[in-house]
Structure 1
Amino acid sequence: MASDGNIRGPVTASEQSNFDIVIVGGGSAGIATAASIFKRNQNVTLAIIEPSDVHYYQPGWTMVGGGVFSLDFTRREERRLIPSRAKWIKTAAKTFDPESQLVLTADGQKISYDVLIVCPGIKLDWDAIEGLPEALGTNGVTSNYRYDLAPYTNSLVRDLGKGRALFTQPPMPIKCAGAPQKAMYLSCSRWEKAGILQKIDVQFHNAGEVLFGVQDYVPALMEYVERYDAHLNFQSTLVAVDGDAKTATFEQKDGDRIKRIQEAFDMIHVVPPQSAPDFIRSSPLAAENGFVDVDQTTLRHRTYPNIFSLGDACSAPNAKTMAAARKQAPVVAVNALAALESKPPVADYDGYGSCPLTVESGKIILAEFGYDGKLLPSFPTWLINGTRPSRLAWLLKDTILPPVYWHGMLKGREWMVKPHHIGAN
């Protein structure tokens, strides 16, 4: 039970195991959705199933790796963020029985619900790259996708005076598809300012076929690729790392065949392959791709009308970013409350996602787009032209978005993301 104001402590199944709404996942999506629900109805019984004691502001890890944010700036205690009216069940979900409206947990609990919201995030599959788990954190092998390694990225970039720096991007889907190249741009910007960029061979190995999935932003990004003299390798997938030998093995498409090449490195920034969490992929809720099978506009499950999903775990084809979860949370909140009254969804989601591409220290290309690559800018172009680098966009990333996250999104304050009602203009 709560022990200090809004600080939430976990409960056990013996205290309560039947809820109006159960949310699986206490990350960005889960807490924001719970807060938006309570903003509209404080009388619902709601549980959040989440095993972690710590909550991370993951968009900040790129900035930690870039020497901008401190590591502590990106973490807070989970118990201080769970809404005070919610029940925190501190364990992991194991599987689902949607016919009986039950969530089965890792410690043997059976939690029943009238409406279920599934948002446990995405699986980072470090083991999918041979030798990577053993190499991480040593011999120049790092990743901003892990809290404890982002400071190592910072130190590697700071201390590298010459040599070869590799940056990798795995096949889609991944969360924050711009983050792999953000690490490269921020590193190059620092080497440029230090006057040593010309001494460093910078390579970007991307499993995909294009630099960025929305073409409107590519011209400006290419200007920075050329400015930093970074060599682009498309359809090049990292498959192995030998930390002791400081070599990375890539599989590259060469016409109809796949060839293997080895690249030596002095530092390598690795982004791991990603997939739906195992317990989602093996559950009755999964689509063919393993993610929770939802309608992309209402975020309601295609088979079970009292189940919703958002964030990185859902099958909607939007960019998997914190900004997407921020936009999805109010939509799911109002649709879940409608489902609680056996009503159809009342709000829709346009696929909005945002990727602030940190192309140099002090400037950002603010990519904002929805389904099918449609540009969805939040600001007039005279203020921020998202297709061009902007100092104001850097201010947004550096100064404005963190408090918006901690004190807005996670508190149910839906600044600029009010749910769009179906049928409204």
Structure 2
Amino acid sequence: MNHRLPGAINHCWKLLIQPSHHALAAPSTALTRYLSTTRVNNERQECQVLVVGGGSGGCAMAAKLSNSLGSNKVIVLEPEDKHYYQPMLTLIGGGMKRLDQCFKQMGDVLPKKAKWIKEKAIEFHPNDNAVCTSGGKTIKYDFLLIATGLQLKYEKVPGLVEALETPGSNVCSIYSPKYVENVYKVLQNTKKGNAVFTFPNCPIKCAGAPQKIAYISDHYFRKMGRRNDVNIIYNTSLPNIFGVPHYAKALWKVVKERDIKVNLNYNLVEVKSKDNVAVFEDLKNPGKFFETEYSMLHVTPPMTAPDELVRCKELVGDCGFVDVDGATLQHKKYSNVFAIGDSSSSPNSKTAAAAAAQSPVVFHNLMSVIKGKNPKDSYDGYSSCPIVTGYSKCILAEFDYKLTPMETFPLDQARERYTMFLMKKEFMPLLYWEVMLKGYWNGPALVRKLFSILKFNKN
């Protein structure tokens, strides 16, 4: 099965099609060693379903599961105090939203029927149906749902962390709440020279965001009357501007009209902030490097699944993502393990919209396995990326595993539209907080079907 996904994602998918079977074993040596070296009063807990991660997918699934199974059946393992609506970070970078509008307290969004343990998963022991936590707990589960998301690895690019944390360096990133507020400050301070935007050589969450902030910056410079003095460069490690040809065609038109220089197969490998220089490798000619001076550098960091998960070779494939079947989202070896969202090996674009579309599939399949039945629901790879192209326009990209458009509305969504911008800016945050996280939003499939019926009846 070839979904024609670009670059590293397609490579990972090919490596992850090794079928195997679930098997239980006696307590592992690693788990026994962990228990023997932790404090004597090690707390042991048990649950029917353990959800690791309280992000988009984890929170939505915890709500669905606890509503169905009842109170005290689900444990959510999540160390953070705040839950961020990450799609808003791009708008914060452009000065359209504030950081305090982007998050809520974790305790306010997690379902009340589930038990929240505010600790981190540090060891996974799937052969023992156990997860060990940063607080010394050992949680035994009947079923495990992995929803850890991705971690940002800024440190993988030499010089980048120092640059981000040095005042006045003109290096910024929308991807972290720690750094996002500086993006608009850098925009305001950039008067001339090169404004460079990067896309790393690995799968990332929200793959459209690196160019969204480039388009927003272009629009900002035009509003400020500086665009003639600022050269905008988008350096992406991918072989195309966007993975879906239908939308790539539209985006090539956008960059041409706005005089944005796009370099394909270019990967950031070092930041020399004292000299205002970024070093890139030409991936078509490995080992060939070149330097670019910048007045503004926006960096999308490399990303991986959490280190603690990657270390569990029983759960992950060669690329470090949870080794699940792309249709059922059930683990290929452990039948009582499922994954949702960005840490899954399913070869879809990693977005909150994908997690929403995955949630009913994971829920129904997990409930089937709980009842001793085989999983039957299938995920089609749906994902959505609202590509903001300025302060008033947006292209709403929706597509499946085969990179075929799956557009919800009865119009050409490859066109820049103000209505789509308003939906992205105002409606989607409400949908996220009030519907998705409470377990009621399963993606736009039903809306798409209703529009299709209306269109058919009209014809």
Task: Tell me if TM exceeds 0.5.
Answer: yes
Partner of residue 281, structure 1: 310
Partner of residue 451, structure 2: none
Partner of residue 320, structure 1: 350
CA contact (8 A) 2:359 2:442 kept: no
**1:102 lines up with 2:130 in the alignment:** yes
The residue correspondences of 1:384-399 to structure 2 (distance < 5 A) are: 385-399=412-426
Match of 2:102 among 74, 99, 102: 74
**TM-score in terms of structure 1 length:** 0.91
Separation in structure 1 between the aligned mates of residue 439 and residue 42 of structure 2, nearest angstrom: 29
Partner of residue 293, structure 2: 264
Q: Provide closer, same or farther for how the CA distance between residues 253 and 415 of structure 1 changes in structure 2, counting only shifts above 3 A.
A: closer
Deviations 1:376-401 (A, max 9, x none): 112222xxx22111111111101100
Partner of residue 134, structure 1: 162
Give 1:22 shift. Answer: 0.3
Q: Percent identity?
A: 37
Letter in 2 for 1:245: D
CA contact (8 A) 1:26 1:50 kept: yes
CA contact (8 A) 1:165 1:265 kept: yes
Separation in structure 2 between the aligned mates of residue 160 and residue 257 of structure 1, nearest angstrom: 32
Q: Provide closer, same or farther for how the CA distance between residues 61 and 279 of structure 1 changes in structure 2, counting only shifts above 3 A.
A: same
Partner of residue 4, structure 1: none
Separation in structure 2 between the aligned mates of residue 44 and residue 374 of structure 1, nearest angstrom: 41
Match of 2:202 among 172, 180, 183: 172
Give 1:416 shift. Answer: 4.3
Q: Any runs of at least 4 consecutive aligned residues in structure 1 with deviations exceeding 6 A, and if so which?
A: 13-16
Partner of residue 93, structure 1: 121
Separation in structure 1 between the aligned mates of residue 140 and residue 222 of structure 2, nearest angstrom: 57
Deviations 1:304-338 (A, max 9, x none): 01100011100000000011111112221222222
Q: Provide closer, same or farther for how the CA distance between residues 413 and 266 of structure 1 changes in structure 2, counting only shifts above 3 A.
A: same
Partner of residue 111, structure 2: 83
**1:408 lines up with 2:435 in the alignment:** yes
Give 1:228 shift. Answer: 2.0
Separation in structure 2 between the aligned mates of residue 286 and residue 398 of structure 1, nearest angstrom: 35
Match of 1:213 among 240, 243, 250: 243
Letter in 1 for 2:427: I
Separation in structure 1 between the aligned mates of residue 370 and residue 212 of structure 2, nearest angstrom: 42
> How much is the aligned-residue C-alpha RMSD, in angstroms?
1.7
Aligned length: 403
**1:113 lines up with 2:148 in the alignment:** no
Give 1:106 shift. Answer: 2.1
Q: Which runs of 5+ in 1 are unaligned?
A: 1-12, 420-425
Give 1:41 shift. Answer: 3.4
The residue correspondences of 1:304-343 to structure 2 (distance < 5 A) are: 304-343=334-373
Separation in structure 2 between the aligned mates of residue 111 and residue 97 of structure 1, nearest angstrom: 10
Q: Which runs of 5+ in 2 are unaligned?
A: 1-40, 447-459
Partner of residue 203, structure 1: 233
Q: Provide closer, same or farther for how the CA distance between residues 183 and 418 of structure 1 changes in structure 2, counting only shifts above 3 A.
A: closer
CA contact (8 A) 1:55 1:78 kept: yes
**1:25 lines up with 2:59 in the alignment:** no
**TM-score in terms of structure 2 length:** 0.85
Match of 1:252 among 279, 282, 297: 282
CA contact (8 A) 1:311 1:320 kept: yes
SS of 2:141 mapped into structure 1: strand
Partner of residue 377, structure 2: 347
**1:125 lines up with 2:175 in the alignment:** no
Deviations 1:48-80 (A, max 9, x none): 001111111110000000111111010111111
Give 1:172 shift. Answer: 2.9
SS of 1:360 mapped into structure 2: coil
Partner of residue 423, structure 1: none
CA contact (8 A) 2:44 2:137 kept: no
SS of 1:398 mapped into structure 2: helix
Separation in structure 1 between the aligned mates of residue 58 and residue 198 of structure 2, nearest angstrom: 30
Separation in structure 1 between the aligned mates of residue 64 and residue 132 of structure 2, nearest angstrom: 25
Separation in structure 2 between the aligned mates of residue 186 and residue 380 of structure 1, nearest angstrom: 27
Separation in structure 1 between the aligned mates of residue 346 and residue 95 of structure 2, nearest angstrom: 33
SS of 2:318 mapped into structure 1: coil
Partner of residue 378, structure 1: 408
